[in-house]
Structure 1
Amino acid sequence: MPVSTLTDGAFASDVLAQPGLLVLDVWAEWCTPCRALVPIFETLAERYDGRVRVAKLDADANVETVTRFDVRALPTVLIFQDGVLVERLSGARALGVYVDAIEAQLSRGSMAAVPLVPASPERVVAPSTSGDSDAIREARELLAHPEAMLVFKHSNSCPVSFTAKRQYDHFVAANPEVPTRLVIVQQERELSNALETVSRLRHESPQALIVRAGRVLWDASHGGITAPRLEQAFVTVQPPG
């Protein structure tokens, strides 16, 4: 299947409303590095024919989409799963980088399986005991925050986690009033394990939790962590009034 061409006018119907995986090359005619991706995207289209849609979009002719998805460098490759942006790769990369990114998304499955808000009721944290460790006490204090707080568990050895971390950073920059706690798993292993114990949520990294007053109000992991989803989740969990 050849590489298809997308435009602003049909972006909602061709991308946002479409199921499955789409890999989009945002390019420009004047961009010399963009030319390096032409044979790479042709190879991807052939290799993943029938499994992944591969497309390109002219940045100069489609400013609305470029602005909407904050494309600041060319080329930029945007990966969408079921109409949701799950990863971006800026600059020309080797074929293997795009293959790894595609395979990671294919192995993860449909984003439809990652709900915006949890399907199960909010979770009450595990009760305290006299033998609680310092890490357990710290985890309990975090989850007992009186305001809705975002706790983000990040692995600094995982490419998927770095993608989610960029989404977390975008959200934090746009919402400086929201209390947050970044837990880097490799540096705070005991706290990370304690959060799993106290929250009763299986550990994943990346993982985002919205907590308040001893309850986990919302959680997501991997590609389910995006700035728009965090924004909407905080609107959902805020008390009325």
Structure 2
Amino acid sequence: MAESANVITLTDDNFEDEVIGADQPVLVDFWATWCGPCRQIAPIVEELADEYEGQAKIGKVDVDENPQTAQEYGVRSIPTLLFFKDGEAKEQVVGAAGKQPLKENLEALLGQPA
């Protein structure tokens, strides 16, 4: 499965710059390679990255490789998707959600109707 070029790989090191310092809303997918539901929603996350290119940033954090960031945001189960705006987590979706709820959260942050 080819990853979308629009999905940013987030790490403990770049999270601050890419997410907290972002000038647009950011959807962060906390995932792990061994997580089945994470693999299920990966194509949805990639579609959103393509659809919202230029309007919002979409990134993924591998919780096994970046435990500090996952711990900082209280990620206990994966997949967990956090929606950030102005450096703050505004919304959270836990579990393999469909595309529509994720889209609605992004639209709300962008101030657009879904």
Return the TM-score normalized by structure 1: 0.44
* Equivalent-residue separation in structure 1 for 2:82 and 2:107 (angstroms): 15
Q: Percent identity?
A: 38
Greater relative CO (CA pairs within 8 A, separation 6+): 2
Three-state SS of the structure 1 residue aligned to 2:53 is: coil
> C-alpha offsets along residues 112-162 of structure 1, whole Å, 9 cap, x if unaligned?
xxxxxxxxxxxxxxxxxxxxxxxxxxxxxxxxxxxxxxxxxxxxxxxxxxx
Number of residues of Structure 1 aligned to a counterpart in Structure 2: 108
SS of the residue aligned with 2:11?
coil
Deviation at 1:11, TM superposition (A): 1.3
1:95 pairs, out of 85, 92, 99, with 99
Whole-angstrom distance in 2 between the partners of 1:57 and 1:87: 17
Distance across 1 between alignment mates of 2:60 and 2:45 = 9
- State the TM-score, normalizing by the size of structure 2: 0.90
Q: 2:86 aligns with which of 71, 82, 89?
A: 82
The two structures, once aligned, show a CA RMSD in angstroms of: 1.2
Whole-angstrom distance in 1 between the partners of 2:106 and 2:39: 21
CA distance in 2, matches of 1:18, 1:53: 8
Match for residue 42 of structure 1?
A: 46
Letter in 2 for 1:70: G
- Provide structure 1 residue ranges, at least 5 long, that are not aligned to the other structure: 109-241
Q: Distance in 2 between matches of 1:15 and 1:43?
A: 19
> For the residues of structure 2 that align with 1:103 and 1:16, how far apart are their CA atoms?
19
CA distance in 1, matches of 2:22, 2:99: 25
Give, in angstroms, the shift of residue 19 of structure 1: 1.7
Say whether residues 1:32 and 2:36 are aligned partners: yes
CA distance in 1, matches of 2:6, 2:110: 20
C-alpha distance after superposition, 1:190-233 (max 9, x if no partner): xxxxxxxxxxxxxxxxxxxxxxxxxxxxxxxxxxxxxxxxxxxx
Whichever residue aligns with residue 85 of structure 2, its letter is: Q
Deviation beyond 2 Å, 4+ runs, structure 1: none
| Partner Cα separation in structure 2 for residue 29 and residue 50 of structure 1 | 28
Equivalent residue, structure 2, for 1:104: 108
Q: 2:21 matched to which residue of 1? A: 17
The correspondence of residues 111-130 of structure 1 with structure 2, limited to 5 A, is none
The residue aligned with 2:73 is 69
How far did 1:2 drift? 2.1
Deviation at 1:95, TM superposition (A): 0.5
Larger Rg: 1
- Counting only pairs closer than 5 Å after superposition, residues 224-235 of structure 1 correspond to structure 2 as none
Question: Could you tell me how far apart the structure 2 residues matched to 1:3 and 1:16 are?
Answer: 16
